[in-house]
Amino acid sequence: MPLRFRTIIEPFRIKSVEPIRFSTQEERERALLAAGYNLFNLRAEDVIVDLLTDSGTGAMSAEQWAGMMRGDESYAGSRSFFRFDEVVRELTGFRHVIPTHQGRAAERILFAEALRPGDVVPNNTHFDTTRANVEHDGAEALDIVIAEGREPASEHPFKGNVDVARLEETIARVGRDRVPLVMVTVTNNSGGGQPVSLANLREVHAACERHGISLLLDACRFAENAWFIKRREPGQAHRPARDIAREMFRLADGATFSAKKDGLSNIGGFLAMNDDDLARRCRNNLILTEGFPTYGGLAGYDLEAIAQGLIEVTDEDYLQYRARSVEYLWEKVDRAGVPLVRPPGGHAVYLDAKGLLPHIPPREFPAQSLSVELYRAGGVRSVEIGSVMFGKPRPGGGEEPAAMELVRLAIPRRVYTQSHIDYVAEVVAAVADRARELRGYRIADAPAELRHFTARFEPL
Ligand code: F0G
């Protein structure tokens, strides 16, 4: 019998390293003041472990870098485009593949061509740029995730699932003509990186088909979603993750994709679909701002990096390591008694600031307070996903708070080692130990849309 070992190790060696500058708490205090207590305004050099996002922050493989050297920079008909197109079509099965410089460009083009003012777009949960792009075209972005998906403590294995009864009710209420498309975000980023089951996708597919409505995936983290299906959904354990991913795409009529996540690339994305007429209009729109349809705002070498990334990301040694590294941080934070979104998600650990800081009301932004403190104490940069990001002005004054007050610790792909994560867990536990001392914030200055990127705050 061969020996079996329990430790799941990184399925790679490190060939190139990037130094981290260690700042002191006094330096970080000054940096916070200059940044208006908005972590988006920090210089990345002033951060020790950067968990702001898993988007575009991953490490590329030797094969991706090699592909970049092979990139064909021809304006039209580049060889790199055809490689990209072939890989995306093998994976997704969609007829038309339109490269874009990142996910939100795909969203902007799709919605500009598919939506009219007054339309309604149901989605499990819209990501912030997706919501902003829907609203920009005068349509309503409606979140219809299952009830468990809004409860941090609920242990449902597929908390990203769409509430299909609400989908049916919405279509009946507003009328099929005002619902030009339905989106499903895999994994459900704003709801905790939680997956959508294959069974749920099949039901949403059936409902859309019955009403003749297109179903589009926001597929940024499709491979992580496929891995959760393999591990958590009855009857799926024997299937290769890539096979599950292929089925997910085949249940949809199209997808928007940010290659900065499960494309394992630093930039890029695509819009893909089967509808010939919509694709023609989207390509024309693309030419206005992104570029010719065989590069769409990307360099030929980016297309190579994405094509290779889309092959590597469904490797099961990689996916097992990826899921385990998120779960590892999740377990340490959970053991320290910090309330968090359960069960572990695919790309991040989400701390429940409402649970940890009950003395800070939502109007004083508890998740902002917690994320600032993680930076101040240990140089760890996270992101607020709460009322700063999703709060809405109430008609007649005041604000409607977000459903949850979360702090996301997003893990870049193939970047940090276990000791970096041990350090993060130690910082989180130390801040949680003195949670009572944390205070709220007020917004000193903010733009009307997507304010979390640029708002400035003052401590209360
Ligand atoms: N959809 C989802 C679910 C996302 O998470 C993102 C980006 C996008 C669309 C937009 O893609 O950034 O390439 O334009 N999420 C990043 C994050 C920014 O930090 O979660 P993009």
Tell me: do 308 and 319 sit in the same domain: no
Tell me: do 243 and 355 sit in the same domain: no
Residue closest via CA to ligand 1's atom 21 equals 103
Q: How confident is the model at residue 59 (pLDDT cuts 50, 70, 90)?
A: very high
Angle between helices 276-289 and 103-114 (to 10 degrees): 120
Q: Do the domain assignments include residue 3?
A: no
Q: How far is the CA of 4 from the centre of ligand 1 (A)?
A: 38
| Two structure tokens written together for 166 | 């609400």
Q: How far is the CA of 285 from the centre of ligand 1 (A)?
A: 21
For the CA of 187, the nearest atom of ligand 1: 3
- Averaged pLDDT for residues 324-335: 97
- Averaged pLDDT for residues 235-255: 98
Q: How confident is the model at residue 303 (pLDDT cuts 50, 70, 90)?
A: very high
- Say which residues have a Cβ less than 8 Å from residue 158's Cβ, sequence separation at least 6: 194, 195, 196, 197, 200, 228, 232, 233
What's the chain's average pLDDT?
Answer: 96
Residue closest via CA to ligand 1's atom 4 equals 127
Q: How far is the CA of 244 from the centre of ligand 1 (A)?
A: 22
Q: Do the domain assignments include residue 7?
A: no
- Averaged pLDDT for residues 77-86: 98
Residue 293 has pLDDT above 80, yes or no: yes
Tell me: do 33 and 89 sit in the same domain: no
Q: Do the domain assignments include residue 117?
A: yes
Q: Do the domain assignments include residue 325?
A: yes
Q: How far is the CA of 299 from the centre of ligand 1 (A)?
A: 20
Give first-to-last CA distance, the chain, whole Å: 63
For the CA of 104, the nearest atom of ligand 1: 14
Tell me: do 285 and 364 sit in the same domain: no
Tell me: do 273 and 339 sit in the same domain: no
Residues 226 and 264 sit within 8 Å (Cβ to Cβ): no
Tell me: do 332 and 221 sit in the same domain: no
In angstroms, the CA 383 to CA 452 distance is 9
In angstroms, the CA 56 to CA 50 distance is 12
Domain C-terminal end among 272, 292, 312:
312
For the CA of 383, the nearest atom of ligand 1: 19
For the CA of 258, the nearest atom of ligand 1: 13
For the CA of 189, the nearest atom of ligand 1: 3
Q: How far is the CA of 102 from the centre of ligand 1 (A)?
A: 8
| Two structure tokens written together for 99 | 């490269």
Q: How far is the CA of 383 from the centre of ligand 1 (A)?
A: 13
| Two structure tokens written together for 171 | 């279509």
Residue 53 pLDDT: 97
In angstroms, the CA 102 to CA 268 distance is 4
Residue closest via CA to ligand 1's atom 11 equals 103
The percent of residues in the chain predicted with pLDDT above 90, rounded, is: 93
Domain C-terminal end among 292, 312, 332:
312
- Averaged pLDDT for residues 215-238: 98
pTM, full prediction: 0.96
CATH number at residue 225: 3.40.640.10
Tell me: do 273 and 191 sit in the same domain: yes
For the CA of 102, the nearest atom of ligand 1: 13
Q: How far is the CA of 101 from the centre of ligand 1 (A)?
A: 12
For the CA of 185, the nearest atom of ligand 1: 3
Residue 137 has pLDDT above 90, yes or no: yes
Residue 113 has pLDDT above 80, yes or no: yes
Q: How far is the CA of 10 from the centre of ligand 1 (A)?
A: 25
CATH number at residue 417: 3.90.1150.10
- Mapping DSSP onto H, E and C, the string for the chain reads CCCCCCCCCCCCCCCCCCCCCCCCHHHHHHHHHHCCCCHHHCCHHHCCEECCCCCCCCCCCHHHHHHHHHCCCCCCCCHHHHHHHHHHHHHHCCCEEEEECCHHHHHHHHHHHHCCCCCEEEECCCCHHHHHHHHHCCCEEEECECHHHHCCCCCCCCCCCECHHHHHHHHHHHCHHHCCEEEEECCEHHHCCECCCHHHHHHHHHHHHHHCCEEEEECCCHHHHHHHHHHHCCCCCCCCHHHHHHHHHHCCCEEEEECCCCCCCCCCEEEEECCHHHHHHHHHHHHHHCCCCCCCCCCHHHHHHHHHHHHHCCCHHHHHHHHHHHHHHHHHHHHCCCCECCCCCCCEEEEEHHHHCCCCCHHHCHHHHHHHHHHHHHCEECEEECHHHHCEECCCCCEECCCCCEEEEECCCCCCCHHHHHHHHHHHHHHHHCHHHCCCEEEEECCCCCHHHCCEEEEC
Q: How far is the CA of 258 from the centre of ligand 1 (A)?
A: 6
Tell me how many degrees the CA angle 313-319-322 measures, rounded to the nearest 5.
Answer: 110
Q: How far is the CA of 266 from the centre of ligand 1 (A)?
A: 12
Any bridge partners for residue 380, and if so which?
49
Q: How far is the CA of 457 from the centre of ligand 1 (A)?
A: 24
Domain C-terminal end among 294, 312, 330:
312
Least confident of 85-94, 261-270, 376-385, 393-402: 393-402
Residue 6 has pLDDT above 90, yes or no: no
Q: Do the domain assignments include residue 33?
A: yes
Question: Who lines ligand 1 at CB under 6 A?
Answer: 53, 55, 102-104, 127, 129-130, 185, 189, 218, 220, 258, 260, 269
Q: Do the domain assignments include residue 13?
A: no
List the domain range (segments joined by +) for residue 377: 25-54+315-459
Tell me: do 40 and 148 sit in the same domain: no
Residue 450 has pLDDT above 90, yes or no: no
Q: Tell which residue, 21, 284, 4, 344, has the closest CA to residue 159.
A: 344
Ligand 1 pocket test target in 52, 218, 220, 221 with most atoms within 8 Å of CB: 220
Residue closest via CA to ligand 1's atom 12 equals 103
For the CA of 54, the nearest atom of ligand 1: 19
Residue 449 pLDDT: 79
In angstroms, the CA 130 to CA 181 distance is 13
Tell me: do 128 and 31 sit in the same domain: no
Residue closest via CA to ligand 1's atom 19 equals 53
Q: Do the domain assignments include residue 10?
A: no
Cis peptide before 129 (omega within 30 of 0): no
For the CA of 269, the nearest atom of ligand 1: 13
Q: How far is the CA of 6 from the centre of ligand 1 (A)?
A: 34
Residue closest via CA to ligand 1's atom 8 equals 103
Tell me: do 259 and 116 sit in the same domain: yes
C-alpha pair distances (Å), 362 with each of 142, 151, 365, 433: 22, 16, 5, 21
Tell me: do 330 and 384 sit in the same domain: yes
Q: How far is the CA of 347 from the centre of ligand 1 (A)?
A: 12
Q: How far is the CA of 260 from the centre of ligand 1 (A)?
A: 8
- Say which residues have a Cβ less than 8 Å from residue 357's Cβ, sequence separation at least 6: 366, 369, 370, 435, 438
Residue closest via CA to ligand 1's atom 2 equals 127
Tell me: do 363 and 296 sit in the same domain: no
Residue closest via CA to ligand 1's atom 16 equals 55
Q: Do the domain assignments include residue 1?
A: no
How many domains does the chain contain in total?
Answer: 2
